[in-house]
């Protein structure tokens, strides 16, 4: 199945996550899904309840208002394919690219979902 590598990476991260909701949120902010290839990005769970992930560009920071996000956005499909075996048809962006980090320098990121992901990653 095409989602197997992504599911395995997600399961490995979820196994390590604490059960306390506040500690769990902090854990997901600090720990990335283990990737089996691809470079330049990390993937984090940014909203477990709604199963939203973020591909964070790690190669450089952007200054506020600096152009270049479109070029980074074009790299996301190849990264997700190499790192997790996800084809462009198996995930979808939830937002256009965003430089909205909380400082004057920004880590570029793209939020996305994986609609075919079952069982889901929610914690109850």
Tally the C-alpha atoms within 13 A of residue 118's C-alpha that lie toward its C-beta: 2
Residue 14 and residue 34: Cα distance in Å, rounded?
Answer: 11
Helix (H) or strand (E) holding 80: helix 76-84
| Location of structure tokens 């992901």 | 117
92 and 111 in contact (C-beta within 8 Å)?
no
Q: What is the pLDDT of residues 45-75, one digit of tens each?
A: 988 888 889 999 999 888 877 888 889 989 9
Q: How confident is the model at residue 96 (pLDDT cuts 50, 70, 90)?
A: low
Residue 36 and residue 44: Cα distance in Å, rounded?
Answer: 15
| Contacts with 3 (C-beta within 8 Å, 6 or more apart), sequence order | 85, 86, 90, 114, 116, 117
Dihedral of the CA atoms 84, 87, 93, 96 (nearest 10)?
A: 100
pLDDT for res 102: 47
User: pTM for the complete prediction?
Assistant: 0.85
């Amino acid at each position: 199945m095409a989602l197997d590598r992504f599911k395995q990476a997600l399961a490995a991260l979820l196994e390590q996550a604490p059960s306390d909701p506040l500690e769990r949120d902090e854990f997901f902010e600090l720990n990335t899904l283990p990737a089996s290839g691809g470079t330049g990005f990390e993937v984090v769970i940014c909203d477990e309840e709604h199963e939203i992930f973020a591909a964070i560009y790690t190669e450089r920071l952007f200054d506020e208002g600096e152009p270049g996000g479109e070029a980074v956005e074009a790299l996301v499909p190849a990264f997700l394919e190499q790192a997790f075996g996800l084809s462009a048809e198996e995930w979808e962006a939830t937002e256009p690219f965003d430089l909205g980090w909380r400082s004057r320098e920004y880590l570029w990121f793209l939020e996305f979902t994986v609609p075919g992901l079952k069982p889901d990653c929610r914690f109850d």
